[in-house]
Chains A and B, each alone.
Chain A
Amino acid sequence: EAGVAQSPRYKIIEKRQSVAFWCNPISGHATLYWYQQILGQGPKLLIQFQNNGVVDDSQLPKDRFSAERLKGVDSTLKIQPAKLEDSAVYLCASSMTGVTDTQYFGPGTRLTVL
């Protein structure tokens, strides 16, 4: 079974630029999550989708971050404009249905904002 795919793996941008990350979850997984993992900290949930609907985006900085999941499969996370404090690894995860089903994580995208 193929795992969660993410791209790009690394991205370096200047502050105030925009950036987008892509995630392809495990086939058949209805729930998709985007997490932000700052160096030395645990993952923090940014947004959770159930199929193509948003379940929770309470910790998403909506003034600069946006996410979508078209057709309930792939998802993109965008930051515009980026700030220095956005430097982190952005992890995508998916699960079959609910949160207590195992969450499978992708390798993440390491973002550096200069």
Chain B
Amino acid sequence: QQQVKQSPQSLIVQKGGISIINCAYENTAFDYFPWYQQFPGKGPALLIAIRPDVSEKKEGRFTISFNKSAKQFSLHIMDSQPGDSATYFCAAHKAAGNKLTFGGGTRVLVKP
């Protein structure tokens, strides 16, 4: 049962370009949506997070856009750099059960 669907599975972007990753969820009980960044051989690390009462959150080059009615949210990486090459996971938190459900991940490759 995949409660959080993430796309695309992979993407290649030129240095300086914009990377866009999309996630869709089914359960309206989700109340918190973090994005995690994972480098090879490392554990995931929190990148940025948003609550559903906010439509957009920006931290540096990273922006989350949230569409509550469509049950979709996305991560935009502006001015992508080779150091951004990693796998990105969206996640959703449900208060009942108090746990995170992760999307399938997107492998991003930024070409210099």
B75 to chain A, nearest CB (A): 14
B46 interface residue, CB < 8 Å from A? Answer: yes
Report, as a range, how many residues of chain A touch the other chain. 20 to 34
Q: Bound state CA distance, A41 and B43, in angstroms?
A: 13
Contact between A42 and B99, CB atoms less than 8 A apart: no
Decide: A99 and B99 in contact? CB cutoff 8 A: yes
Q: A44-B102, A45-B100, A99-B93 are in contact. Are A105 and B41 (CB under 8 A)?
A: no
* Chain B, interface SS category: strand
Q: Does B52 contact A (CB under 8 A)?
A: no
The complex places the Cα of A107 from the Cα of B40 at a distance, in Å, of 10
The answer on a CB contact under 8 Å between B42 and A55 is: no
The verdict on B25 contacting chain A, using a C-beta distance below 8 Å, is: no
Cα distance A104–B89 in the bound complex, in angstroms: 14
Q: Which residues of A contact B97 (CB under 8 A)?
A: 56
Give A6's nearest chain B residue, CB to CB: B43
A42 and B42: CB pair below 8 A? no
List of A residues within 8 angstroms of B91 by Cβ: 42
Q: Name the contact of B98 in the complex, choosing from A4, A43, A98 (C-beta under 8 A).
A: A98
Scoring A residues 35 to 54 as 1 if CB is less than 8 Å from chain B, else 0, what string do you get? Answer: 00000111111001000000
Interface residues of A (CB under 8 A from B): 4, 40-45, 48, 55-56, 91, 93, 98-100, 102-108
Q: B residues within 8 Å of A by Cβ?
A: 4, 6, 32, 41-46, 89, 91, 93, 97-105
